[in-house]
A = this chain, B = another copy of it.
Amino acid sequence: MLSNEQLHLIEEMGVYHERRGMSPIPGRILGLFVVSDKDAYTFDEIKEILKISKSATSSALNFLVSTDRIEYTTLPGDRKRYFKWSPFKALENIERETNNMFSIAEMFRRAYELKNNKQSESANNLLMVMDFFNYMIMELPNLYNKWKRSYYK
- Other-chain contact of A147, B19, B104, B120, B135 (Cβ < 8 Å): B135
Residues of chain A whose beta carbon lies under 8 Å from any beta carbon of chain B: 3, 5-6, 9, 12-13, 16, 19-21, 33-39, 85-87, 90-91, 94, 103-104, 107-108, 110-111, 114-117, 120-123, 125-126, 128-129, 131-132, 135-136, 139-140, 143, 146-147, 150-151
- Other-chain contact of A114, B3, B20, B90, B143 (Cβ < 8 Å): B3
Are A150 and B129 closer than 8 Å at their CB atoms? no
Are A114 and B21 closer than 8 Å at their CB atoms? no
Are A120 and B151 closer than 8 Å at their CB atoms? no
* CB-defined contacts of A143 to chain B, threshold 8 Å: 136, 139-140, 143
Are B114 and A6 closer than 8 Å at their CB atoms? yes
Smallest CB gap from A90: residue in B: B129
* CB-defined contacts of A151 to chain B, threshold 8 Å: 128, 131-132
Are B37 and A132 closer than 8 Å at their CB atoms? no
In the complex, how many angstroms separate the beta carbon of A51 from the nearest chain B beta carbon? Answer: 20
| Interchain residue pairs with CB less than 8 A apart (27) | A3-B114, A5-B114, A6-B114, A9-B114, A13-B111, A16-B104, A20-B20, A21-B21, A33-B122, A34-B107, A34-B108, A35-B111, A35-B114, A37-B123, A39-B120, A85-B122, A85-B125, A87-B125, A87-B126, A91-B128, A91-B132, A94-B132, A128-B151, A132-B151, A135-B150, A139-B143, A143-B143
